[in-house]
Structure formats: C-alpha cells, structure tokens
Chains A and B, each alone.
Chain A
Amino acid sequence: MALLEVKDLVTEFHTEDGVAKALDNVSFTLERGKVLGIVGESGSGKSVTAFSLMNLVDKPGKIAGGEILFNGDNLRLASAKRWSELRGDRIAMVFQDPMMSLNPVMRVGAQLGETVAIHNKLPKAEVERRVFEALKRVGIPAPLERMRAYPHELSGGMRQRVAIANAIINKPDLIIADEPTTALDVTIQAQILYEMKHLARQTGTALIWITHDISVVKDLADDLCVMYAGRIIERGAVADVIRDPQHPYTRGLIDSLPHAENHGKRLYSIPGATPPLLSLPPGCSFAPRCSRAQSTCNATPPVFKLESREHRCFFPLG
C-alpha cells in the first residue's frame, strides 16, 4: 500500500467574482521513503496542493472533492482532533519563508520542544535531548547555544534548518516542503537540498518537494509532477520526464533552464502568461500558449497513461 494516495482532489476558492478551481482533479501516489517533486509556475496550484494535504486551506477556499488516502486512511473524513494528532507528528510541513515561519518571540528550543511535547508524553530532559538531536541532524553548529537563541539571532539559512528540524523531529511518515529553499541563496540552497535528501533516506520519511525550479528537484526527487493551472499535466519518474518530456509545457519549462553551452545567448521563455484561474480557457488551459494546439484542444484532455508515465495532452511529444 502506498503511503499517500491522492485521488481526484479538487480545491476551490469561492470569491466574489466566481469560483476559482485551484486544484482540478489532482491525483498522484507516493511510496514510503520516496521523494516526489511538484513543479509549476506561480498560481499553478503547487502550494494549494501542499495546504490541501495538510488541511490548512483557509476561507474562502475549501476542498470540494476527491480523496486523500494516508496509510489507507481517508483524511477527507478525519476529525479536527485527528488532524491535530497527525500534523507535526505523522505529516509535517516546511514553509517557504524561514523569516516568517518561526514565532519571533519564542526561543528556538522552546518552539521545537513544543512540537515534541504536544505529541509525546516525555520528561523534559528527553524532550530537550530530542531537540538537540534534531538540530544536530540538520547541521546546525553548537545546537545547545542555538536552542536558547531567538529566531532573529539566526541567519536565513539557519532559520530554515530550524524549521526543517521542527518538521523531522517526530520522525514523520511524510514531510511536505513548500519551496523551502526559494528564499535562500544558491549555496545554502545546495546544502539544504543535500541534507534533506540525506535525512529522508536515513529516516525513511517520504518527501513532497514543491518548487518552481525544475533543476532543484532534478537530483532530489524520484518522481515528478508538473502542474499547470491547477492540473497535473505530466507525471513520471524524474529522469524520464526530464530526458523525454511528453507535454509541450514540460518541454518549455526544461528549455527555459540556463545551460552552460548556451552561455551569452538569450534564454528561452514560453510565450504568453498563465491564465487567471477565474477565466480559464475551455479544454486544455495551456492551448493558447501552445504551438501544437488544434481544435481538439478545446476539449478537456483526459489523463493518458502509458506504463509508469501519464500526461494530459492530445498531441504529446516524442
């Protein structure tokens, strides 16, 4: 049984101007200990996917349909109490901005200790030992000192490490990381990516890594989902998708990456812009930007499956 199985998940935002379908029949599975990358532009529904999986979608948004099976348990039916048992213990999340995701007036040790103590009845010394271990595991030097520090006394990279320590501290089955390295500079990003991969392997934690940068997940993920306007338009093993993309949008994303051999030349960019969710084109939402589009594309493309790969395009590449 897969650790996480998402089936036809729909999340809608009911605004005054109409209903925005932020997630449109999103389906994927994630095996225990594997890493799933989700890539897409701003507004493609990556973060909404993360928040939906954590049941953190705030008004006016709500999950309107589908199933989230976690260890075979349908989380759509879970009570608030069950959710507070799961969050931070079995499913943890790392947020985008490390400057904002830590409480500014609480010491680092106290914040991490809270996550441990709320889910486990443990003596204080044991809680502190676990906090120490977690900080050490994410590569924070002198964890004892850092435990007594306030978030503002730490650098951005350190803070994100603290946030990651907070996510791994209870050895969850699943960590959802929502662009955790976007706010950091490239060297810190590389360190954190390396360490996350390492940690996931050590603890057998499955990881969902959300990013807009396909090069970030290239070496990290096992599987890759490409999202566009609320739909997963291509899914498969990371190496396959990157070597041989089937959806024209995925091809476009890969072509817009900078390469050493293209030094000095203009970078490729996909013409046009993401359509606003409130006025999506009928059928395939990428059709207006797509050079291969024909009149067939005015119908919603179904999921085409071939072995381990799937895509939503009437006229796939390759």
Chain B
Amino acid sequence: MKMMMNDIETPALSAASAHHETLVAPPETPMHLLLRRYFKSRIGTVAAVLLVLLIIVAIAAPLIAPQDPYDLATVSIMEAEHAPGTTSSDNKITYLLGTDGAGRDMLSAILYGLRISLGIGVTSALVALVIGTCIGLISAYFGGKVDALLMRIVDVQLSVPTILVALVLLAVLGQGVDKTLMALVLVQWAIFARNVRGSALVERSKEYIEAAVGQGLPARRIMFRHVLPNCMAPLIVTTTNQMANAITLEATMSFLGIGLPQTKPSLGLLISNGFDYMLSNQYWISVFPGIALVLLVVSVSLVGDQLRIVLNPKLDA
C-alpha cells in the first residue's frame, strides 16, 4: 500500500511546479459561489447596484455637488425656497431639486446629508460590531458566571426600547456627532453580543474546537481564529441590518432635534428643516431628502435580506 502511495506521490510532486494552478484551483471559490448566488436575485441585484451608487455619490459629494451647502459665501438667502428646476439668479447653477429656506441647493444638501447619514450608520454599526463580538465571544467561550452576567446585561439593554435609550442619553449628553455615535453604539452592541454568542456556542461544541484546544492553542487564539471566522455568515447579515437600523434611528433623532447639530445636516435633519414648509406647498425641501433616506435604508435592508438568503447554510445542498 505504501509502495502504491509513493508511486502516485512522486510524479505529482515533480509535476507540481509545472501544473501548479491546474492542480490547486478548485472549480469555484466560496466567494465566487456566493456572488453568483447573490446576483441570481433581481431585487438583490438592483438593491446592490443602488447601494453602491449611493455610496459612490456620498463619498464623492464634494466633487459632484453643484454647491458647497456649508460654504456661507456661496449660499444666498436671496435664492431661498426656489422650486425644483429653477436656475440661480446668476445663471451659474440649476437647482434641480429646488432650494431650502436658507437658499441652499437641495441636491447638494442631500448629497452631503447622505454622506453624514451613511457615515454615522456604518461607523456606529461597525463599532457596535467590534464591541458586541468581543463580549459575545467571551460569553460563549468561558460560559458559567461570566456568561450569565454578560447576558443579563444584554437582556436589560435589549428590554428598553432603543429610541428611549437614545433619547435619554442625548438629552443628558447634548447634541453632537460623537454623542450621537455613542448613543447608537450603546443601543446596538447588545444585539451583536447576543447574536455572536448564539453562533459561537454552536461552533464551540463542534469537534474542531475541541481539537484546537487539544493542539494547545490559547483561548484568545481559538476565539478569534477558529470560532469567530465560523460565525461570520450570520454576523454579516446582522451587521447589514443594523446599519439600516442605525441610519433610521439617527434620522429619527435628528428629526426630533436631538441628534446631530445644524452644522452637520444629515438626511433626518434636512427632512425636519423642510417640514415647516410642507404646509406652504414647498414639498421639495422635505420630500426629496425623505426619498433619499428611503432609498438608502431600503437598499441596505434588501442587500441584508439577500445576504441572509445566500449565506443560509441550509441552502448549501
């Protein structure tokens, strides 16, 4: 038997350098498979394209916006409340989406607002992801009293409505980008912690984790190099959904006037600012940022839903 093995081995080894790729390359990498499955869905594709567009537009806002809405030198109160499609009095720009009560170009304001909303949503979800993941992993790995204590804190955190926590926190701390971020992280970490703990418990009971302990690997390495990568699928879905939630929550708080300051107008703040003009028929000041917000949140959610379907291990067969 050994002889046979050696016979096979030698030519394979000598051929290795020549036919490296043909021998190694599996027909399809997991990433390819994932993408192929993802783009099978029309809704998922549309949502992904829309989201990518929104992200590009948000990042490139300073380059593509007709006007810098924060530059007081270019914004003139004389241009206030122009209807969509009006040209500016100096004929330099066309206000495609009109102007607001301060004479700012709505399109520019929305592009900059998108940047802020997206930035805060993504940042807060990612920070909460890191904190929640660490706590969830510790909870699952050590179990016992540590687990009980951490999970009771999570229970308490999740039993209070998120908007209430955010309201109270911002009322105490005051407005500001950093404070809004803090509030958003605080209401989100527990969701990640519980989620990661659940997946990690399942992975932890599997034999390869026992084998990793049997290799003499330290606990931290097992948690981050062995348990965590195997919990990625549900974590990706949660993260996407939490990003959509964070964007909505930030918009809600800004709309209520407790989130971001006027100097950093997110989409929520733009809607709130335009709300006063709704009754005087100047719908565009409020409605267009609203549409932008809906497009953003819906595209993020739909991408999340499609990821959930694609990453569901039960669909593997």
Q: A and B, one complex?
A: yes
B294: shortest Cβ distance to chain A, in Å?
37
Indicate the size class of the contact surface on chain A: 35 or more
Q: Which of A59, A97, A166, A191 contacts B215 (CB 8 A)?
A: A166
Tell me if B211 and A102 are in contact (CB < 8 A). yes
List A contacts of B179 (CB < 8 A): none
Counted as pairs of residues, one from A and one from B, with CB atoms less than 8 Å apart, the total is: 100
Give complex CA distance A112, B124 in Å: 37
Tell me if A106 and B229 are in contact (CB < 8 A). yes
Tell me if B207 and A85 are in contact (CB < 8 A). no
A42 close to chain B: CB less than 8 A = no
A104 close to chain B: CB less than 8 A = yes
**Chain A 148-169 near chain B by CB (<8 Å), digits 1 or 0:** 1100010000000001001000
Give complex CA distance A89, B215 in Å: 7
Q: Which of A96, A103, A144 contacts B208 (CB 8 A)?
A: A103
List B contacts of A194 (CB < 8 A): 1-2
Q: Which of B20, B143, B212, B214 contacts A103 (CB 8 A)?
A: B212
Give complex CA distance A119, B16 in Å: 30
B210 close to chain A: CB less than 8 A = yes
Tell me if A56 and B214 are in contact (CB < 8 A). yes
Q: Which of A142, A143, A163 contacts B211 (CB 8 A)?
A: A163
In the complex, which residue of chain B has the Cβ closest to the Cβ of A153? B26
List A contacts of B1 (CB < 8 A): 190-191, 194
Give complex CA distance A65, B226 in Å: 32
A105 close to chain B: CB less than 8 A = yes
B216 close to chain A: CB less than 8 A = yes
A174: shortest Cβ distance to chain B, in Å?
12
A224: shortest Cβ distance to chain B, in Å?
24
In the complex, which residue of chain A has the Cβ closest to the Cβ of B227? A103
| CB proximity to B under 8 Å, residues A49-89 | 54, 56, 59, 83-89
| CB proximity to B under 8 Å, residues A5-29 | none
**A-B residue pairs in contact (CB < 8 Å), sample of 10:** A93-B211, A100-B206, A100-B207, A102-B208, A103-B230, A114-B221, A148-B24, A149-B24, A194-B2, A195-B2
Q: What 4 A-B pairs are tightest by C-beta distance, nearest first?
A: A88-B216, A88-B215, A87-B216, A100-B207
B residues contacting A by CB (< 8 A) are: 1-2, 5, 8-9, 12-13, 16, 20, 23-24, 26, 143, 206-208, 210-218, 221, 225-226, 229-230, 232
Q: A96-B207, A101-B207, A145-B24 are in contact. List 9 more A-B contacts (CB 8 A).
A: A56-B213, A95-B214, A105-B232, A114-B225, A118-B216, A119-B216, A143-B13, A153-B26, A191-B1
